[in-house]
Amino acid sequence: MDKKKPKKVLVQGAIPPEKIAQSIANHQSKTNIGAHSIFLGQIRADQVDSKTVRAIDYSAYEEMAEKVFHEIREAAFSKFDITCAHIYHSLGRVKTGEICLFVFTSSAHRKIAIEACNYFVEEIKAKAPIFGKEIFEDETHQWKVNK
């Protein structure tokens, strides 16, 4: 059912730890699950030319991004024997130390959950049209590029 009704991936602002706890708790009734793999992206206070990143302001081509997320889900469910998968990515300003990406995969067996989680992370980085403006302490900025 997870597979058929994907929720929106893009959410406003940082992803709170309580949301992650709630997602985990929601899976305790699914007793065919033996392993969960979770990836969290957190905003780093990178130094660039003696200035320090304070936040990243995320924007996205939202309709296309949701379409891409849906395609990644479909591909993941056909590649991996996972029970469920959830992904959330922030839009708007996320401060250093806060969570901007939450990927959560579950399976009967650990290796499948872990591989699927990695697949999601790499695919999202490579294919989702999301853009990040790194904001420095003095409110100047530079545009982030995934390496």
Partner 1 sequence: MKVSVKYFGIIAEAAGRDEEVLEVAWEISVNELKEQQVQKYKIPDAEAVQLAVNQNLNKEVELKEGDEVAFLPPFAGG
Interaction site with partner 1 (CB under 8 A): 41, 56, 58-61, 63-65, 67, 89, 100-101, 110, 121, 124-133, 143-146
Contact status, residue 80 vs residue 123, Cβ threshold 8 Å? no
State the minimum distance, in angstroms, from the CB of residue 12 to its own copies: 18
How many Å apart are CA 17 and CA 19, to the nearest integer?
5
DSSP-assigned beta bridge partners for residue 89: 10, 101
Q: Work out how close the CB of 21 gets to partner 1 at its nearest, in angstroms, rounded to a whole number.
A: 21
Residue partners of 23: CB distance under 8 A and separation at least 6: 86, 102, 104
DSSP letter (8 states) at residue 80: S
Q: Closest CB to its own copies among 32 and 78?
A: 32
Residue 79 near which of partner 1, its own copies, none (CB within 5-8 Å, type-dependent): none
Selection from partner 1, its own copies, none that 77 binds (CB < 5 to 8 A by kind) is none
Longest dimension (CA), the chain: 51
H or E element in which residue 67 lies: helix 62-79
Binding site residues, its own copies, CB under 8 A = 17-18, 20-22, 24-25, 27-45, 96-99, 106, 108, 110, 114, 118, 121
* Closest to partner 1 by CB, 84 or 132: 132
